[in-house]
Amino acid sequence: MATIEAEARSIDNGNGHRLASCWYHPAGAPRGAVLIAPAMGVKQRFYANFASWLAERGFLVVTFDYLGMGQSRQVPLRQLKVDLLDWARHDCSAVLANVAETAGDMPLYWIGHSVGAQILPLVEGHERLTRIITIAAGSGYWRENSPQIRRQAWLLWHGLAPLLTAVAGYFPGDRIGAVGDLPAGVIRQWRRWCLHPEYLVGVEGEPMRRAFAAVQTPLTSLSFTDDEMMSARNTESLHGFYSGAAKQMRRIAPAEVGADRIGHFGFFRNSFAPTLWSNYLLPELSVGGDQAVA
């Protein structure tokens, strides 16, 4: 893989904070722009090799850290008053506005990993997107989680999360190997979502349902049969909220790409460049490609 340097940029999130972002520039004129919205507790550096690979293929690619995460952690988490809706309305909206301004008339793509696909309807300016690609994304309702983690999810939401957050003033996930450190407002809101059968729509109510229904950008979902977090039902539930968008739903088994495992995070491993990246993702990042069907 050729080396592509990432340009670090600080972005004002419009709510009194600055976010860290990295911009991966192709060698020539970009053929489009790609914004990667991270999963819960995942730092933007996790996507660096994937972003470089896309830049090598002609795309301007931007990654970022949500407020309180990675390089966007400017104060101790216990001092930070932020929740998931803030991440959407302020952080994602600010980064998308910056990328859209740079992209001009170029196609603009949103790659949302897990929670990065869940909060998109609240992002200002999402109408500008050419296509949405969701990766390993679904509802977090715990009773529909994959069997591998359902018991752990019960323990997390009914015991560890409320107790540890109350004691520490934030969720110290790094210490227990669960999700990662998160602001108190984020983990508490996420907990409420995960305990409701309709996840964020059930908790936030009709305004959230209408926000999902208003998204009309074509959407492609890439999910994986061995995802240890998201079951097929989780995936179907979340994407069902996107009732106004034409959708392609692709559920991929590891054997289809000659792998033993993909899981919730594996899509972004370099080893999947010749298969998942080239054969499943790259065709979605094209001007005038096949239109999705509902």
Which residues partner with 133 through β-bridges? 111, 220
**12 sits in which H/E element:** strand 6-12
The mean pLDDT value for 277-290 works out to: 81
Burial (CB count <10 Å: 0-12, 13-18, 19+), residue 75: exposed
Query: pLDDT value at position 3?
Result: 67
- Are the C-beta atoms of 37 and 111 separated by less than 8 Å? yes
Q: What is the pLDDT of residues 113-123, one digit of tens each?
A: 999 999 999 99
Q: What is the mean pLDDT of residues 34-45?
A: 97
Tens-place pLDDT, residues 216-250: 999 999 999 999 999 999 999 999 999 999 999 99
Say what the pLDDT of residue 88 is: 98
Share of the chain above pLDDT 70, in %: 96
The mean of the pLDDT values for the chain is 94
Residues recorded for the chain: 294
**pLDDT tier, 178 (very low <50, low <70, confident <90, very high otherwise):** confident
pTM for the full predicted model: 0.94
Average of per-residue pLDDT across 181-204: 97
The answer, yes or no, to whether residue 74 has pLDDT greater than 80, is: yes
Instruction: Measure the CA–CA gap between 290 and 36, rounded to whole angstroms.
Output: 22
Q: Does position 274 have pLDDT exceeding 50, yes or no?
A: yes
Q: Which two tokens stand for residue 105?
A: 């008339």
pLDDT at 146: 87
Q: Give me the pLDDT at residue 186, please.
A: 98
Dist CA 264 CA 170 (whole Å):
24
* pLDDT tens sequence across 129-165: 999 999 999 999 999 998 888 989 999 999 999 999 9
Give me the pLDDT at residue 248, please.
Answer: 96
Give the span between the Cα atoms of 51 and 254, in whole angstroms.
Answer: 22
Q: For residue 157, is it left (φ>0), alpha (ψ between -120 and 50) or beta?
A: alpha
- The proportion of the chain whose per-residue pLDDT surpasses 90, expressed as a percent, equals 91
Average pLDDT over residues 84-97: 98
Nearest residue to 124 (alpha-carbon basis) of 273, 5, 283, 13: 13
Residue 190 CA to residue 198 CA, distance in Å, equals: 13
Could you tell me the domains of the chain? 6-146+204-284 (3.40.50.1820)
